[in-house]
Amino acid sequence: MDEKTQVAMDGSPAVVERWYSGKFEITNPEATKPVFGEPLIRIKFQLGPIQEVGINGCSIEDVIDVLVARLEGFQKGPFKCRENALAITKLEEAKLWLLYRTQKRQAQGVEGRNLAHAE
């Protein structure tokens, strides 16, 4: 299955592209490609549980790590500002919530499986 036809476990498209227009788009295999040009970035998300299919893409946490690293780079230079620091804090907070979700899934015995966890 190529990245243009991937679908995530919830049925949503599993590839995110950023076009020159600056807009993000979730790739829909049935939609026609926008005419803005080639994507600036492509994010291939993990498709399926790692324990069942192995690693074939990145996690949300991986994407957050890239964003934090970029902002930290700004913070080390002339673009240091409070807003960047707050954005870093919020991205790190998002990772903590995702870790909490993982811990709940582990405690319920559904981590690494294509099953929902209980609230």
pLDDT tens for the chain, 119 residues long, are 344 445 555 555 555 554 444 455 545 455 555 545 555 677 888 888 888 888 888 889 999 999 999 899 989 999 899 999 999 999 999 999 999 999 999 999 888 877 888 88
Question: What confidence score (pLDDT) does residue 5 get?
Answer: 46
Between CA 69 and CA 81 the distance in angstroms is 15
Does this model's pTM top 0.85? My answer is: no
**Where are any strands of DSSP class E within 1-87?**
15-18, 24-26, 41-44
